[in-house]
A and B are shown apart, each in its own frame.
Chain A
């Protein structure tokens, strides 16, 4: 429920740019950042006489996503032409899917471990991306726009939700979960800033309990998850304010300006677009056999929400940890392989704080870390921490060496001449020295106060240069304090 007395109804239309080698209907590389119009051919440039042929890997990616989301994957689906004139459209029609899409239905689980609820989907289908046109610039005494077709023809998956989202936060949660899933499945990098994941929102409001939907508007230019959240929030507010003042919501397309947090009406839709859809005669019916479907289903990895649930359940991790660690499949896999038995929480702590920090600082992904610190090596490190062989400061020091130097933990300690004292012979004199120097505190503990004990442990550790096993220090302190207690 948004503004008092109104219920928001939101549906999202998302486009996922697939990470295939080549484009949807031709063999041009689906790469980016190259000089303009250098990854083009007669097909994706829309030259006379060119013909499309569908990319098997794009279909396979669509299949994985559909199956992961529990969609009904159709045995036969049809590519259709969607007509509109625009300079970034090489053929002035887009090859898409219309009334017979590849997938129908399905749902994306959201919330903790996927258990809170699932956002129902209407459909998922394959289509091709358009080229890119740029804002007009001055050319002599004229204004012209540049157009680059490198992106034209790159495979896209369009995913449409049912109008079941109820506010800005669920929209953000949906996109976060979708981004995680497409990365998890390896079908897209899902980066909204790079246009690999795009989202338009259809927003309407109504009185709670009303059976019909209000007039909906379409929000575009939502370029980040935060932008979606803010844009949807702004539009809900706008519609509510309008209705409260006795006005009517007009069907319109609005652009959201994230910098200024403002909506701009692009155009009102008095006339819906006439796309003149018909089945593309150049392309055969797309067939996905039962065997292929079952093989794809069997090849699906453990899905992120299932992994998250297992981390909370079998591994006993808190919800927060489970969510962070399943942000990527690589990170989740790493945790499972690096956590020594029964030490999931310890591993989780180290991963979430120290490892993620290093990844951020060095702009690494998990694989870059794992190349230097394979899970088994990290497991060895964690095991030693768990066994209290590496006290706090020492552990941090060793951790820093792990990323930059080869060798086992033992070898690292050796190389850097770090000895951690754990034997009584080395540590008893230090403990005695501390008790001698801080006699007052010692007396307080002996008389029954616990608080100064921690202070004494700290002092002993300081004297040890941080290289003592804390448990041993504590035991020795107790022993020595006991020795100095007056006999009853």
Chain B
């Protein structure tokens, strides 16, 4: 499976990763190589196999009770890249971005 520059750029955009122009070709080539390897999965006979369920079907659900992990006031924004008055600050959030 070959991934070209354009496809690599599309995936990078989906993943919100900036890849410098001069690295795109190399990244595309490396991805193609790995995907070429995982192609062998397509040759397998997987008839009758269900996807593995992950987390062991486990214990009971969480009771609807507060627990001690809630952070003390002010802690959440400590160490934030930018914060003020208890809020996190980010560049303008415009309605248009939300799906």
A–B direct touch in complex (beta carbons closer than 8 A): yes
Q: Are B71 and A40 in contact (CB under 8 A)?
A: yes
| Cα(A279)–Cα(B31), bound, Å | 24
Is the C-beta of A107 less than 8 angstroms from some C-beta in chain B? no
Per-residue interface assignment for chain A, residues 22 to 47, with 1 indicating a CB less than 8 Å from any chain B CB and 0 otherwise: 10011111000001111111110100
Residues of B within 8 A of A284 (CB): 53-58
Q: Are B87 and A148 in contact (CB under 8 A)?
A: yes
Nearest B residue to A272 via CB reads B99
Is the C-beta of B41 less than 8 angstroms from some C-beta in chain A? no
Q: Are A27 and B69 in contact (CB under 8 A)?
A: yes
Is the C-beta of B66 less than 8 angstroms from some C-beta in chain A? yes
| Cα(A279)–Cα(B52), bound, Å | 11
Is the C-beta of A281 less than 8 angstroms from some C-beta in chain B? yes
Residues of B within 8 A of A35 (CB): 73, 86
From A26, A56, A273, A276, B63 is in contact (CB under 8 Å) with A56
What is the minimal beta-carbon distance from A422 to any residue of chain B, in angstroms? Answer: 57
Given contacts A145-B90, A146-B87, A147-B88, contact A39 B62 (CB under 8 A): no
Q: Are A40 and B70 in contact (CB under 8 A)?
A: yes
Is the C-beta of B20 less than 8 angstroms from some C-beta in chain A? no
Q: Are B99 and A146 in contact (CB under 8 A)?
A: no
* Interface stretch (choices A81-89, A336-344, A441-449, A452-460): A81-89
| Cα(A120)–Cα(B86), bound, Å | 44
Q: Are B93 and A26 in contact (CB under 8 A)?
A: no
Q: Are A21 and B65 in contact (CB under 8 A)?
A: yes
Q: Are A41 and B99 in contact (CB under 8 A)?
A: no
What is the minimal beta-carbon distance from B7 to any residue of chain A, in angstroms? Answer: 13
What is the minimal beta-carbon distance from B82 to any residue of chain A, in angstroms? Answer: 8
Residues of A within 8 A of B71 (CB): 38, 40-42, 45
Is the C-beta of A53 less than 8 angstroms from some C-beta in chain B? yes
From A27, A59, A287, B67 is in contact (CB under 8 Å) with A27
| Cα(A363)–Cα(B67), bound, Å | 34
Given contacts A40-B70, A284-B55, contact A144 B89 (CB under 8 A): yes
Q: Are A43 and B69 in contact (CB under 8 A)?
A: yes
Nearest A residue to B54 via CB reads A281
| Cα(A58)–Cα(B88), bound, Å | 28
Determine the main DSSP class of A at the interface with B.
Answer: loop
Q: Are A55 and B61 in contact (CB under 8 A)?
A: yes
Given contacts A37-B86, A37-B87, A41-B70, contact A285 B97 (CB under 8 A): no
Is the C-beta of A104 less than 8 angstroms from some C-beta in chain B? no
Given contacts A85-B16, A146-B89, contact A20 B54 (CB under 8 A): no
What is the minimal beta-carbon distance from A339 to any residue of chain B, in angstroms? Answer: 36
How many A residues are at the interface, by size bracket?
A: 35 or more
| Cα(A267)–Cα(B98), bound, Å | 10
Q: Are B93 and A54 in contact (CB under 8 A)?
A: no
Residues of A within 8 A of B77 (CB): 37
Q: Are A144 and B91 in contact (CB under 8 A)?
A: yes
Q: Are B93 and A133 in contact (CB under 8 A)?
A: yes
Is the C-beta of B60 less than 8 angstroms from some C-beta in chain A? yes
Interfacial residues of chain A within 254-282, with CB under 8 A of chain B in the complex: 255, 266-267, 273-274, 276, 279, 281-282
Per-residue interface assignment for chain B, residues 74 to 99, with 1 indicating a CB less than 8 Å from any chain A CB and 0 otherwise: 00110000101111111111111111
Q: Are B76 and A40 in contact (CB under 8 A)?
A: yes
| Cα(A29)–Cα(B68), bound, Å | 11
| Cα(A224)–Cα(B90), bound, Å | 29
Is the C-beta of B21 less than 8 angstroms from some C-beta in chain A? no
Q: Are B70 and A39 in contact (CB under 8 A)?
A: yes
**Which B positions have Cβ atoms within 8 angstroms of A?**
14, 16, 51, 53-58, 60-71, 73, 76-77, 82, 84-99
Q: A22-B64, A145-B90 known; 13 other A-B pairs, CB under 8 Å?
A: A21-B64, A22-B67, A26-B67, A35-B86, A36-B86, A39-B70, A55-B61, A135-B93, A139-B84, A143-B92, A146-B89, A279-B51, A279-B54
Ranked 4 nearest A-B pairs via Cβ = A27-B67, A57-B64, A136-B92, A56-B61
Show 19 A/B contacts (Cβ-Cβ < 8 Å), sorted by A.
A26-B67, A36-B85, A38-B76, A40-B76, A53-B61, A54-B62, A84-B99, A86-B99, A87-B90, A134-B87, A136-B92, A143-B92, A145-B89, A146-B89, A147-B89, A147-B90, A147-B93, A255-B95, A281-B55
